Structure formats: structure tokens, C-alpha cells
Amino acid sequence: MRKIHRHHTGVLITFLFSVLLLGCDNTIEPIDDSGSEAFAIHGYLDMRVARQVVRIEALRPNVLSNPISLEDVQVSTIESESGLFQIWKDSTVILNSGEPGFVFAANFRPELGRTYRLIVSRNGESGSEAIAKLPAKPPTFVNPPVGDSLNIKQRIVLQGMTEKPIQITLSYVVVPADDSGERTIRIAYGQPGVATSSGWEFDVDLVTDRIIILNQLGLNVTVKDVEFRSVSFEMTVFSDEWKEPQKEANLDNAHGFFGSVGVFEHAWFIDSGFLNTLGFVDGQKRN
Amino acid sequence: MTFRKYLVLSLLFLVFWAATDVAAQNNKAPALAGRVQDAETRITLPGATLVLSLDGAQIAGEISNSAGAYTFPDLPPNTYILTTSFIGYEPRVDTLELPRIKLHDVLLQPTRTFLEEVLVETQRADENRFVAGLSIIKPGDLSRVPMPDVSYDLAGYLVTLPGVVSTGDRGGQLFIRGGTPTQNLVLVDGMRVFQPFHIVGFYSAFPADIISYADVYAGGFSARYGGRISSVIDIKTVNGNKEKLTYSASIAPFLSGFNISIPVRPGDTSLIISARESIIDRVSPAVLGQDLPFRFGDRYVKLHSYLNQTSSMTFTALTTSDEGNLGIGSSGGEDAFRKSTWKNKAFGGKYTYIPEESAVMTELSVYYSSLESRYRPTENEIRTSDVSDLNMNIGFAYLLGPTQIHFGIFGNTNFFDYKLGSLGTEGKSGVTSVGSFIEGQFSIGNVLRVEPGIRLEIFSRGLHNTVGPRARIIYLPRGTGSHHQFSLAGGVYYQQIVGLNNEQDVSDVFTVWSASPSNTPVPKAVHLIAGWKGRPRPWLELTLEGYRKNLSDLSFPVFGDAINKVAEFSKVDGFAQGVDAKIEVTTQDLFLSLTFSHSRVEYQRKAQLATGVFRPNFGSASRLEALTFNPPHDRREQINAMAQYRFGSNKASIRWQFGSGLPFTQVNGYYTDLASSLDPNNQNYVTASGATNVSRSQLYGSRLPTYHRLDITLERSFSIKGASITAMAGVINVYDRNNIFEYNVFSGGRVDQLPIIPSLGIRVDVK
């Protein structure tokens, strides 16, 4: 009986001691610093430019704290297909708020369909990673022109493409009859077309484009001796990350956004008969 | 300077104390004597029963002699309750302050009606029996809790109950056995009160003066209650004195107030008016040296009238107001604009009728209550949420001795109106429910009591028809005198309207009330409670209860990257389970109480698409992974130790609270959100500014530090010219524990709960 009593007393003392011990701890650890340092990454790889830029921010311990220095931070990319490794150069910019911001830049032009892994680390320790896969050129089909001389259109189908492109630009190479030489006329189409079960479809308005071309050349629309050398379109497209910018699915231990912008071209031939109907002289070079 | 002020005040108080002590010494062990008479004819009444109680315990009993006289010898100075009853007369209860009152003649009114007797029988049948999940709180209990004033309050006592978790001494949020504040049903004389606790957590909207008793069901409540799935706090208020004018007033830094009871039509109709107002925001900078920017108050009116021998009418009205910045701490500054305000309004009436020839009591009641909430999360944004409740009940009670059957039909309509600022959501809607309940109390021998019930309710939203069976069983192995009592309670509960708030941020108490989404099941809970109460000695009481609540279809916020912003909700299931233990020692001079709770609350979220706030998302909804987590009120261990000692006219009270740390979500850090600046056609994002986003770690994966606090008070009662005066001195948070309230994301500093606060108060009662 006495033994049991002693046992209970011991349990009680241990419990009270534990309570006191636990109760003395009054610190809070609001920041979880158990893992690798995380960074905020904002930027995208852009095929249209030869200099790539990302803005990097180290996570701050509270809302009002000053930006954390990135002095020891290294940003690099590895191109998965070739293994090409590139270190980005850091620089400081003044943000609109007047505070300093940190950007990293590298001189290269990403390529269609390639995958780039962006690595942000401090002092060589593991940090944040982001993967950007440049869009690949979708299979492209050009339907025969349809319509009469007042309204001839040609439908382009980009198979499997579901998102609206950033920009479509038509390029026509023509030679005026005055022998002034080859001229390239670029016509911005904006973001035409619709998503269908086949992909993205848009129409090339050949009649309207001819009027624009002649206008650019300073010729009257009745002129029918301009030689038509070639036609192509250039399409600027988003990578998948732009569909849900907040999703951060391609970021590892990081926040923000890292996507890409791809550009591809497609050229085709227009049937001579339709060119004649339009009022061009067929000068396309078929191999 | 501040401390010196307190020192001077304390010295003055001690001198005052000592002076009054001399007077008290001269009044040792007086006797109470008097006669019992017919109030109308003044004929003496031999054979009347007189029972003297102290703090709810009967301490002596007398029968008036042949001359109608009675005597209680050798009573220490104190406040006693004398209950006098005699056949053919209405029982009478007097509060007597000894030694001020030594001679007291009791005037009994001849019975003109048995209405009040029946009411007492039906309402207080629970008082002496143990029911799992139920705590009966009497006014005397409230005065055992050290408070920073002399008016006492229900909220201060509630947090001493095992299984009741509060966010601390600010915010006014109570979690009862795993249930959130919006799952608690709070009734005052049948009126629903949406936000019944003040912004300073010591106080409810109900001062002790107006409370007759409160039934607190931590779960397993009966079929007469509905609309909430966790708990019920059912407060019955006193009727005013119908014989004479009585009043009281108290002054203390936290809360000052008055209470007056007027016999409007003597013998028949009484009016109670009570009002309280805080002054802590005005005195705290000078007295405490820091801002406590909280302002709150409540006003209460009750008119009670016996219309004739068989019917009575009650009109009750209650308003409350609260205002303050819960996020401000010692750091102050950056989020000083954050402000929470809320106002309750409730009023209604009840008509009670008991035909003399029948044992059926009929009650008809109509109540309206509303809550207006405002929250300013940022300097330029304000969120509003209004909710109102119109409730009608017709109840019948068949009183057949120990057997009772209660039947009722009810209808309830809620209206909602909310505008959520930057969240871009606003709306107005209404829901209705109608239904009925029946519950009975049956005794099998004198050892078993069974209380089955069922509640049928039709909701205009969500799962349309619900059936809520309820049951309680009480087992007394040796009959009514048994030292041990066992009880089981359980039931199925539904809640059509839901209160949604940002459970990430405790300083954001803003709650938006809305209907549960259409065509989806409404929140549901299944309770099971088993308990034992033992009284091995007359002065020792032990209670042990185990419980489990299965919860389903609860709405829980989805926390995105934006700070303090909830745009989506998920459906979660879960459970709350635990064990509560209580030891109480009650003697004439000493009261000791020790409670211990061990509990666990867990929510499970299935993989799902998040829903928008109050309506389906337009566009893409967040895809949520399956997750199991402990919500922010999952306090695992809680201890409450309380003692009160009476010596002479003095009363010393002490309380120590301990609670293990509550879950919170750690952050990885904060960063600039540039999503709106990202454009494939320019590089504006390189120099753009943006809102600040938060990177969160595992949801509720960490724990706050433990909470503990010691409060002490010393009271002294004395009389001056017919007035009973109580003076109080006390200290809240005696050892100045820095209990955390929240982490300030802006400054990186912590916002602590109240520091050490000395307090003085004085109360005057004239009866």
C-alpha cells in the first residue's frame, strides 16, 4: 500500500515538474527554417530576346523587414537536352517602390521544345529550383484557299494547341514591278482564331492582306503585276505555366512564376490560280 | 509613475480594509431570528419550513414554532439565502447579509396560483442529478472566480470548466469540447445570442446579477435544443423583486455597471434594468502604462408579470456592443487600423399558461436577435456581416410527477447580409427551418432514469429533412441517496447555418454567417458522452467524463498565399474526443476545485475542389489534396485550479489556469506577389511593386507556447446604513506571464495577452 502511495506521489511530482518545465517555455518559432532556403522567382524565358532576366527575392522573416541580400546567391540554368550549364549575372535595380530589387540575367536565346532548369542557391547549398519547358511547334496544317476574288481566305490549323497565342504576324515577301527589289511586308494579326477539337484555327485573309501590301508599297489596288515570292506566319505562344500562374507546379521550394515564351514560324505555298485571282504574279520558288 | 499610483491606491485600500475589519470583529457569530407571517393578514404561521443556504449548499434547516418564530444560532458573517415555504403560500427566497441583518420576519404570500411552483419544478428538475455533459451554473459559482471587478460574470466561470478552451483574455471566443464558437448555441431566456462574449474574454453579455442559473451542455443535449452541433449554454435570468426596490452598482477599471429591480405593480410585475460599460480603454494608458484599446458594454431589460393565477408574461431585451483592435500589442503601430466591432440585439416575449385543473404547461414565445459585425483588415477595406434570427416556439410540458413529457413545435428564419470587401463577395439571403421535438423523462424504479427524445427539422437549404434522435440515461446504483451516479448522453445534431471565419488568424474574430451551401449535406455531429460522479464524502465530489463527437461536412477555410484573406473553403470531417476530470472540495469556509482535460480534435479533408465563399467558384477552383490536421483549437491538456477561502467578512480567491499550446501554422517567409505584373509583352515585373504574399509551412504543424496564468482577489463585505458594500482588490496574471495571443506578421513581433493587471473595485447593494 505504501509502495503504491509512493508510486502515485512520484507520478504526481513528475507530472507537476513536467507542467512547470513545459510552462516555462515561452518562445514561439513563427518561421520554419528546418528546410532549405526558399526564394521567390519571377520571370520567364523568352525566345524573342537574346537576354533572359529573372527577378529573385529571398523570403523575408516578416512583412515589413527589408529585402534580404542576395550577395552569396548564385542563379544558373541547365539545358536538359544538351546539359549546357550557364551562370546568370546578378544586378541590382531600383523598384518602383524605391527599394532595391535583385535581378539576374543571362545572354542566350532559348530554343523551341527545350527544357531549362533554373537553380537558385546560396553558398552552394540547395535552394530553389524552377523548370521551364519552351513550347514545341505544333503540327501545322494549311487548308486550300477558299472564296472568290473579293473574299479569299485560307484556314490554318495548329493541331493540339488549346490556348490563345500571344501574337500572330503574317510575313509576305513581294517584288514590285518597278524592279525596286524584294520587300517584306509584316502584318500583325493579333490573337485571331478559336480553339476547336482539332486545335487552334485561324484564317488568313488574303484579299485584305493584298490591299495592305499594295498600300505599303504605295500602289493602287488595281495593280496586278506585283510578284508574290512567299508567305509565312510567326506565332508567339505561352508555355503551360501561363495557364495557371498561381499554381507553382513547376517550382520546387520556391514561390512566384517561371514560364517561357516560344516563337515559331511556318511558311507555305499558295496555289498559282488563287494568286492570279488575287492579282499577284506567282514568284514562289518551289524546290 | 504608474506603479506608484497603484502603490498609493493599494495602501489606501489596505487602510480602508483594516478600518472595516475592526467593525467586522465586533459582529462575530450573530444569530438570525424572526417570525413567519401571512403577508396579507400578518397572522403568524407555525410549521413553516426555513432552509438556510450558503453558496448553493444547504447548511441549516428550521421549522417555525407555535408562535411562528425561528432562530438560526451562531452564524458567521456572510451572505445567506433563506428559503421559506409553507403549504398554501408561495415560497419565498431572501438574501440576507449577516451581521447586518439579525432580525428578519418572513412575509409569505398566500398561494393565488401554482404557476410559479410548477415553473420551478419543471425548470430545476435537473439540479440535483448528474447528467453527462451538463454543468449547472448557479450565481454563487460565479463569485468563486477571481475577476478584475466585483460584478462577476459567466464567461469567467465557463473557462474554468473542463473541456472549454478560450483564445485567451481577448477575442471572446469559446471552444467547447472540440466545437467552434459558431457551433455553440447560446440562449438567454430562450433568445439566441450570436456573439455572447465580449471582446475582453473575462466577460460575457450577461452579468451575474441577472442570472438565475445556466445549463451548460458540452454535448449530448436534449431534443428541445437545435440549430447548433456542438454545445448549448442555456441561461435563465432572474425575475425582478416584486415587493420592493433593490439596486446595486459597481465600479472597477474593466467594467462598471448598475442593476436595478423595480416592483412596477407590487406583487405582480417587476422590471429589471441592468447596464455595464467598460472604461479600460480610457484608464489603461494612465494606470497600466499601455493601451488596451477595447470598449464594450451591455444593456439588459426584463419585465415579468403574473397576469392572473394561471398565466404570466415576460418581455426581455438585450443589447451588447464591442469594439477594439485585437491585433495590437506592445509593438502597436503598423496594424493600428485593424478594428473589430460587433453589436448584438435581442428581444422577445414569452407567455406561459397553466390551467389549474391540468398538469399541462403551455408556453408561447417569439424572439428576434441580430448581430452586426464589422472588420477593418486594412486601412482602406471594411468587411461587414449582418445576421438576424426570428424564432417562434410553442411548447407543452406534461408534468406527471417524476415523469415529464415535453413537446414543442418551432419555426426559425435567418437573414444574412454580407459584403466582404476585397474578397469581392457580397450577398443577401435567407433560410427557414420548421420542426418539432418530443422528449420525455421516465424513471424505472429509483435507480434508472431514461430521457429519450427526437427532433425533426426541415431545412430550406442543404439536406432538407433531418431526424435527430437524442437520449440520456442516468443510473443511481443505490437509488436517490446513491454516492455514485453514472450517466450516458448522446444524439445526432444538425446545423443549417454556418459561421465562417479566418481560423488562421486568431485576432480576426470576424465571422460571416451564411446558409450552408444548397444541395449538400449540412454540418452534422454525433455525440456520445459517458460520465461518473462520486461523492465519497459530503465535502468531496469527483466527476469523470469521456466523450467523442464525430463531425462531418464542416466548412474550413483554404489559406492561399495572400495574408489574412480567405477566398475559398473546403469540406472537412473530423472528430473531437477526450476525458475531463474534476475534483471539488466544499466546506463552509473553503472551496477547492481542480479540473483536468485531455482531448484531441482532428479534421480530415478529402481531395476536392475548393468552393468559393458562399457560392461556387467561377473559373478555376483550387484543387486540394487530401489532408489530416489538428485545427487551431486542439488544446491537448488543460488544467484549472481554483480555491476560495472565507474568513470573517473576507473572501480570498485564487485561480491558476494551464493550457498546452494551440496549433498554428509556421511560415517560411514573405515575398512580393508580382502575378499581376507578369506580361509576356513587357518586363515591367523587373521593377514592379506588389502585395506581400506569405509562404506557409505545414498546416497547423507547430504549437504555440503553453498558456498559464495566476489570478488572485481579496474581497471584503460590510454594511453601511442598509447598504451592503463589497470592496475588492486583485491582481490578474500575478507573475506577469507573457501568454501569446498572436504573432504579428507585419512587425515580426508577438502580441501577448494581458500583462499583470492590478485591479480595485467596489460594489454597493441596496436591498
B687/A95 CB distance under 8 A: yes
How large a percentage of chain A has pLDDT more than 90? 61
The answer to whether A35 faces chain B, any CB pair under 8 Å, is yes
Min distance A182 CA to chain B CA atoms (Å): 30
Which residue of chain B comes nearest to A19, CA vs CA?
A: B658
Q: How far apart are CA A189 and CA A234, in angstroms?
A: 10
Cell output for A273: 490560280
Asked whether the predicted pLDDT for residue A52 surpasses 60, the reply is yes
Q: Quote the CA–CA distance of B59 and A9 in Å, as a whole number.
A: 35
Cell of A127: 535552394
**pLDDT the model gives residue A267:** 95
**What pLDDT, in 10s, does the model give residues B45-73?**
877 888 888 876 777 778 788 778 888 88
Q: Which residue has the higher pLDDT, B123 or B77?
A: B77
Q: What is the pLDDT of residues B320-363, one digit of tens each?
A: 999 987 666 544 455 667 788 999 999 999 999 877 666 788 99
**Residue B27: per-residue pLDDT:** 43
Of A30, A166, A242, the CB nearest to B666: A30
Instruction: Give the one of A35, A64, A96 whose C-beta lies nearest to B688's C-beta.
Output: A96
Residues on chain B touching A261 (C-beta within 8 angstroms)? 680
Alpha carbon of B15 to those of B7, B12, B147: distances in Å? 12, 5, 22
DSSP states along A255-275? EEEEEEEEEEEEEE---HHHH
Asked whether the beta carbons of residue B686 and residue A32 sit closer than 8 angstroms, the reply is: no
Q: Could A27 and B705 be called an inter-chain contact, meaning their C-beta atoms sit closer than 8 Å?
A: yes
Burial class (CB in 10 A: 0-12, 13-18, 19+), A196: exposed
Measure CB to CB from residue A55 to each of B560, B686, B745 and give the nearest one.
B686
The helix/strand/coil state of A127 is coil
Whole-angstrom distance, CA of residue B752 vs CA of residue B749: 9
**What pLDDT shows up at residue B577?**
97
Choose among A31, A44, A55: nearest Cβ to B669.
Answer: A31
Average of pLDDT values for A107-133?
Answer: 93
- pLDDT higher than 60, residue B23: no
| Res B618 pLDDT > 50 | no
Query: Which segment of A246-255, B335-344, B362-371 scores lowest on mean pLDDT?
Result: B335-344
Among B563, B687, B750, select the one facing A93 at the smallest CB separation: B687
B172 — pLDDT class (breaks 50, 70, 90): confident
Of A32, A64, A246, the CB nearest to B675: A246
d(CA B43, CA B128): 34
| CA distance, residue B656 to nearest chain A CA (Å) | 12
**pLDDT value at position B114?**
44
Count how many Cα atoms sit within 13 Å of the Cα of residue B5 in the half-sphere of its side chain.
Answer: 13
Q: Comparing C-alpha atoms, which of A117, A116, A156 is closest to residue A140?
A: A156
Grid coordinates given for B573: 470531417
* Residue B34: pLDDT over 70: yes
Write down the pLDDT at residue B285: 80
For the ranges B116-130, B158-172, B695-709, which has the lowest average pLDDT?
Answer: B116-130
Q: How far is CA B405 from CA A17, A267, B133, in A?
A: 52, 89, 21
Task: Tell me the pLDDT band of B30, cut-offs 50, 70 and 90.
Answer: low
How does DSSP classify residue B211? Answer: E
Task: Give residue A1's pLDDT.
Answer: 44
Is B26 or B272 the better-scoring residue by pLDDT?
B272
CA atoms of A171 and A167, how far apart (whole Å) = 13
Per-residue pLDDT, A214 = 93
Rounded to a whole number, what is the largest CA-CA distance in chain B? 106
Candidate from B28-42, B102-116, B202-216, B392-406 with smallest mean pLDDT: B102-116
Segment among A250-264, B503-517, B536-550 with least mean pLDDT: B503-517
C-alpha gyration radius of chain A: 31
What is the C-alpha to C-alpha distance for residues B276 and B252, in angstroms, rounded to an integer?
11
Peptide bond into B196 cis (omega under 30): no
Which residues from A are below 8 Å from B675, CB to CB?
A: 245-246, 257
Please name the residues in contact with B425: beta carbons below 8 A apart, sequence gap of 6 or more: B418, B419, B612, B613, B614, B615
CB spacing of A63 vs B746 below 8 angstroms: yes
Please report the ipTM that was assigned to this predicted complex: 0.82
Provide the chain A residues 175-234 that lie in CB contact (below 8 A) with chain B.
Answer: none
| pLDDT tens-place string over residues B441-482 | 888 887 899 999 999 999 887 667 889 999 999 998 887 678
**Spatial contact of B508 and B377, defined as CB atoms under 8 Å apart:** yes
- For the segment A41-62, the average pLDDT, to the nearest whole number, is 93
Cell of B541: 465530489
Check whether domain B31-111 has CATH 2.60.40.1120, yes or no = yes
Q: Say how many CB pairs under 8 Å bridge A and B.
A: 122
DSSP single-letter state for residue B207: B
Q: What is the pLDDT of residue A22?
A: 57
DSSP A143: P
Confidence of residue A179 (pLDDT cuts 50, 70, 90): confident
Q: How far is A122 from chain B (nearest CA, A)?
A: 16
Work out the pLDDT band at B439, boundaries 50, 70, 90: very high
B134-235 CATH choice from 1.20.1050.10, 1.10.10.10, 2.170.130.10, 1.20.120.80: 2.170.130.10
CA torsion through residues B74, B77, B78, B83, sign = positive
pLDDT reported for residue A45:
95
Contact A55 B674 (CB under 8 A): yes
State residue B566's pLDDT score. Answer: 62
Q: What angle do CA B557, B701, B197 make, to 5 degrees?
A: 50
Dig out the grid coordinates for B505 from the structure. 488568424
Bridge-based pairing of strands B707-720 and B667-673 is unpaired
* Pairing of β B174-176 and β B164-166: antiparallel
C-alpha cell read off for A79: 539545358
Using the Cα atoms of residue B744, residue B745, residue B746 and residue B747 in order, give the sign of their dihedral: positive
Give the distance from residue A260's alpha carbon to the nearest chain B alpha carbon, in angstroms.
9
User: Which pLDDT tens digit goes with each residue over B568-608?
Assistant: 788 999 999 999 999 999 988 899 999 999 999 999 999 98
CA B507 to centroid of chain Cα atoms: 20
B710 CA: distance to closest CA in chain A (Å): 12
Most distant CA pair in chain A, distance: 121
A26 alpha carbon, distance to own chain's centre:
48
pLDDT of B9 reads 55
Mean pLDDT of B369-382: 87
Q: What is the pLDDT at residue A248?
A: 86
Cα distance from B640 to chain A (closest Cα, Å)? 13
pLDDT value of residue B1: 42
Nearest to B685 among A27, A32, A55 (CB): A55
Strand partners, B497: B515
How far A40 CA sits from the closest chain B CA (Å)? 6
Instruction: Please check the confidence at residue B7 and state whether its pLDDT lies above 50.
Output: no
Across the interface, whether the CB atoms of B672 and A261 are under 8 A apart is answered no
Inter-chain residue contact A19 with B658, CB threshold 8 Å: yes
Contact B668 A59 (CB under 8 A): yes
Q: What pLDDT band is residue B512 in, cutting at 50, 70 and 90?
A: confident
Q: Is A252 on the interface with B (CB under 8 A)?
A: no
Q: How far is CA B320 from CA B195, B199, B259, B366, B510, in A?
A: 9, 11, 16, 20, 16
Residue for grid cell 501569446: B740
Residue among B635, B520, B619 at smallest CA distance from B567: B619
Closest Cα to residue B314, out of B271, B355, B276, B275?
B271
Q: Are B624 and B558 in contact (CB under 8 A)?
A: yes
Contacts of B689 in chain A (CB under 8 A): 95-97
More confident residue, A167 or A15: A167
Q: Do A29 and B666 touch (CB under 8 A)?
A: yes
| Position B271 confidence tier, pLDDT thresholds 50, 70, 90 | very high
What average pLDDT does chain B have?
84
Calpha distance B656→B539 (Å, rounded): 22
CB contact under 8 A, A46 and B680: yes
Q: A261 touching B, CB under 8 A?
A: yes
pLDDT, mean of residues B155-183: 86
Percent of chain B with pLDDT over 70: 85
Nearest CA to B47 out of B69, B28, B15 is that of: B69
Q: What are the residue boundaries of the structural domains of chain B, listed by start?
A: 31-111, 134-235
Q: What is the pLDDT of residue A6?
A: 60
Which among B681, B692, B750 has the least Cβ separation from residue A63? B692
Residue A177 CA to residue B281 CA, distance in Å, equals 90
Residue A32 main-chain phi, psi, to 5 deg: -90, 100
Pairing between strand B231-237 and B184-188?
parallel
Chain B nearest-CA distance from A91, in A, is: 11
Which residues of chain A are within 8 Å of residue B702 when distances are taken between CB atoms?
29, 32
Does residue B6 register a pLDDT over 80? no
Over residues B738-754, mean pLDDT:
77
Chain A residues in contact with B747 (beta carbon < 8 A): 62, 64
Which residue among B561, B670, B675 sits closest to A62, beta carbon to beta carbon? B670
Average pLDDT on B539-546 reads: 94
- Which pLDDT belongs to residue B117? 45
Tell me how close the Cα of B261 comes to any Cα of chain A, in angstroms: 46
Alpha carbon dihedral B65, B67, B70, B73, in 10-degree steps, equals: -90
Q: Which three cell numbers stand for residue B149?
A: 471587478
Confidence of residue B173 (pLDDT cuts 50, 70, 90): confident
Higher-confidence residue of B166 and B572: namely B572
b/e burial code for range B184-210 (CB count within 10 A of at least 16 → b): bbbbbbbbbbbbbbbbbbbbbbbbbbb
- Global pTM? 0.79
Q: Which of B562, B624, B638 is nearest to B594 (CA)?
A: B638
Residue B477's closest CA among B462, B487, B491, B469?
Answer: B487
